[in-house]
């Protein structure tokens, strides 16, 4: 390499370095100070949530969450979660279809808890019929269960209903004594109604053979851990007490053939 060639290359490198220094020293153009981009999902989620609650509650804030497509919705100090399309809501552990107002979690739970009604050993139950008896339910009750008494008071007022009662005895020390005496009465249905509705224990020794042990095993197999539990004719399960208006709707819906 000749001296002239070397100086030519050094000069070229020096010029390139100078250009680089100039570029680095030149400030970047200022970013636009306009409004930030609007996420349309935020407004969509807000509108869908307020529509779901029919205007009873106002959404205070909608925020993104670490889960893509799921937004946090704040109403006062309560939080719930809605998908970006405003279709599904996670509320108190349940997934809600906001458009159809359906509790998808409850529907799935009902499906899992349903039974084959025809497989119930109805011979173990007390049978009572009002009217034509075309609507059928099976209920598990304990004589010391307060909600059982409320449910029984509602059931005896209904027409055209067949009730299969499976007496249980587990809530209190005297539950078995009371249940046994009802089951040993000449008219078991009347005795059971008197027990739950009037707290009137049948006047017998209660020493006859009863179905209590078999019903206890049946309840275990069905996953019954509390009372009342009622099964509709299609196998759907009602756990606990439902007020008359709600119960009548459920009875009508679950009695369809």
Q: Which of 215, 174, 178, 209 is nearest to 195 (CA)?
A: 178
pTM comes to: 0.74
Question: Does the structure show a pLDDT above 70 at 52?
Answer: yes
Alpha carbon distances (Å) from 186 to 55, 86, 139, 169, 203: 58, 60, 21, 20, 11
237 near 254, Cβ under 8 Å?
Answer: no
pLDDT confidence of residue 2? 35
Strands 229-232 and 237-239: antiparallel
The CATH class, in words, for 115-254 is alpha beta
Indicate if 115-254 has the same CATH topology as 40-103: no
What phi and psi values does residue 9 have, to the nearest 5 degrees? Answer: -70, -40
pLDDT confidence of residue 22? 34
Q: Which residues contact 239 (CB under 8 A, 6 or more apart)?
A: 113, 226, 229
Among residues of the chain, what percentage have pLDDT more than 90?
82
pLDDT tens-digit series, residues 212-232: 999 999 999 999 999 999 999
Give residue limits of the domains in the chain. Answer: 40-103, 115-254
220 near 123, Cβ under 8 Å?
Answer: no
Fold classification of 40-103 is Nuclear Transport Factor 2; Chain: A, (3.10.450)
Among residues of the chain, what percentage have pLDDT more than 70?
85
Helix, strand or coil for residue 102?
A: strand
pLDDT tens-digit series, residues 140-188: 999 999 999 999 999 999 999 999 999 999 999 999 999 999 999 999 9
């Amino acid at each position: 390499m000749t001296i002239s060639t070397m100086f030519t290359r050094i000069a070229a490198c020096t010029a390139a370095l100078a250009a680089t220094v100039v570029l680095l020293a030149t400030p970047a153009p200022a970013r636009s100070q306009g409004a930030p981009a609007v996420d349309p999902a935020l407004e969509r989620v807000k509108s869908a949530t307020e529509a779901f609650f029919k205007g009873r509650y106002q959404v205070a804030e909608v925020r993104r969450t670490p889960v893509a497509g799921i937004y946090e919705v704040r109403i006062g100090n309560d939080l719930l979660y809605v998908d970006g399309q405003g279709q599904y809501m996670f509320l108190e552990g349940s997934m809600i279809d906001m458009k159809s107002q359906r509790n998808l979690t409850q529907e799935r739970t009902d499906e899992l808890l349903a039974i084959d009604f025809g497989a119930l050993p109805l011979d173990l139950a007390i049978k009572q019929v009002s009217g034509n008896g075309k609507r059928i339910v099976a209920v598990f009750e304990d004589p010391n269960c307060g909600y059982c008494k409320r449910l029984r008071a509602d059931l005896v007022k209904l027409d055209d209903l067949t009730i299969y009662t499976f007496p249980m005895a587990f809530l209190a020390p005297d539950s078995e004594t009371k249940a046994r005496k009802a089951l040993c009465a000449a008219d078991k249905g009347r005795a059971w109604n008197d027990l739950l509705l009037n707290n009137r224990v049948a006047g017998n020794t209660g020493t006859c053979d009863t179905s209590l042990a078999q019903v206890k095993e049946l309840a275990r197999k069905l996953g019954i851990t509390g009372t009342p539990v009622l099964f509709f004719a299609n196998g759907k399960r009602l756990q606990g007490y439902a007020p008359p208006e709600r119960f009548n709707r459920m009875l009508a819906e679950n009695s369809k053939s």
